[in-house]
Structure 1
Amino acid sequence: MTDADMIKHLWTHKTQDHPHLPDEALMFEKGDGIYVWNREGRRFIDAFAGLAVVNVGHGRAEIAEAVRAQTATLAYYPTTRQFSNRPAAQLAAKLAQITPGDLKYTLFAVSGSEANERSIQIARHYWLKAGRPRKYKVIALQRGYHGATLGTLEVCGIPELFQAYEPLAWP
């Protein structure tokens, strides 16, 4: 099966709209530092600015080893409700020590989309608890990308990203 045949079955965020390259030319096989390569060996700068989990670049051996060591012990356990895991608690405590002011809590997220969605939820929760339910508006940069979740699409200000999903939840 060719790359072009396979990618037809992959539903990704905004896949089929690149004006200059076919989708299969944008399927990457390896990365090193700031670069990624496609099957034909063409090198691209990874200009996603650290989308999701590669904010320190590709191919970092020390990170791969840390992930291997941790997953050999405990691959994952959520920080949901009263549940947690030791590495998350250790990192949260370290961040509380080194951040300025009275920042004491950390809410971890897997991606920028999730982090922005959680920020909106925290702000909403704050104003509901403060007895001000009408404070629900979110200010965002016009045409600024803030994520791929439905909540973050609503604040993106990029009509071609959210119009297909209207009406959205926010007034």
Structure 2
Amino acid sequence: HEMVCFTMLDISGKYYGLDCFGMVNINNRDNTTYGRNTGATPDGRRAGDPLSNANNPTAGMDKNGVTAFVNSLLKARGDIHFGTVQNMKFSKETFNTMRRTVIFPLLDSYFGRGGTQAMINVVGKEDLENARKEPEKYSNLIVRVGGFSARYVELADDVQLDILNRTLN
């Protein structure tokens, strides 16, 4: 991460007629596309499964809770890049009933310790599962993909599965 960021900053202003040039870690849905042709990885990801989405852990591999998840996100230095996707997915129940006791303190800690951006998705796993079964009933279900939002039912099947399998806090 640091090598790529510093390389981009080093060439800033030297090429392309730009005054400033820097790295943004946003892979949109390419983590799924590239994952199709990538072998198994040491973290337990199986061959063909999506790679991690941007700066997030591989789906289902963040097993130590939301605090460990946020601590992991903060390992990438925020002062040497121009943006890094941090997708955070919360259940409707957690977001609605624990907003003041969990969500606000979590985000205060994240941003207070140098977090640069948070892309928050509040969705029920059952909504995503139902949308896969009956897409015509869920045409307006919007989800965070990578660096953008999209209608869930219009995404490729493996992109839908990647979003469905991301850990729900």
Query: Which has the larger Rg?
Result: 1
Q: TM-score, normalised by structure 2?
A: 0.24
